[in-house]
Amino acid sequence: MFTILVLCTGNSCRSQIAEGYLRHFSGNKAQIFSAGIETHGLNPGAVRTMAQDGIDISAHTSNHIDEYRQLEVDLVLTVCDHAQENCPYFPSQAIRLHCNFPDPAKATGSPEELDAEFRRVRDSIKSYCANLINTYLAS
């Protein structure tokens, strides 16, 4: 089965959103995991914004990349520049993709402005993930 690992700095927001959408779009055609070079816990804003789009990520956990060292991975996706630049060597023949998404957890402003930023980033990740699945798992 095709296996995708999504990497971010803290595995709390962007990588969790990507994992949720990749699972949704791939159905039962792929195994999807996410991890961070650190672990920051699941971001409540990510959970909330995904729930608004009908995707429940509330049971996800924040995992460290070391937990997946022995996993046979077909595709590694980094979703922030920091993870791409600081990720320790990951021994794999996997396809490596990178797309830097802004961190909505670092946004400032009113609660409405923060929610809008989470939705904006979520929608960007959603579109990217849909295209990725169509590209690598279309059949």
Give me the catalytic one of 13, 80, 99, 129: 80
Q: Which of 89, 76, 118, 85 is nearest to 101 (CA)?
A: 118
> What backbone phi and psi angles, to 5 degrees, belong to 17?
-60, -45
Note if 99 is an active site residue.
no
Q: How many residues does the chain have?
A: 139
Can 13 be counted among the known catalytic residues?
A: no
Q: Give the pLDDT band (50/70/90) at residue 90.
A: low
83, with CB counted inside 10 A (0-12, 13-18, 19+), is: buried
Of 8, 13, 99, 129, which is the active-site residue? 8
Query: Which one of 13, 87, 99, 129 is the catalytic residue?
Result: 87
Tell the CATH superfamily of the 2-137 domain. Answer: Response regulator (3.40.50.2300)
Q: Is 129 a catalytic residue?
A: no
Domain boundaries, the chain: 2-137
pLDDT single digits (tens) 48-82 = 999 999 999 999 999 999 999 888 899 999 999 87
71 in helix, strand or coil? Answer: coil
Q: What's the whole-number mean pLDDT along residues 69-96?
A: 81
Q: Which residue has the higher pLDDT, 49 or 28?
A: 49
pTM: 0.94
pLDDT at position 56: 98
Q: 94 pLDDT band (50/70/90 cuts)? A: confident
Contact in structure between 77 and 58 (CB atoms under 8 Å): no
Give the pLDDT band of residue 88 (cuts 50, 70, 90): low
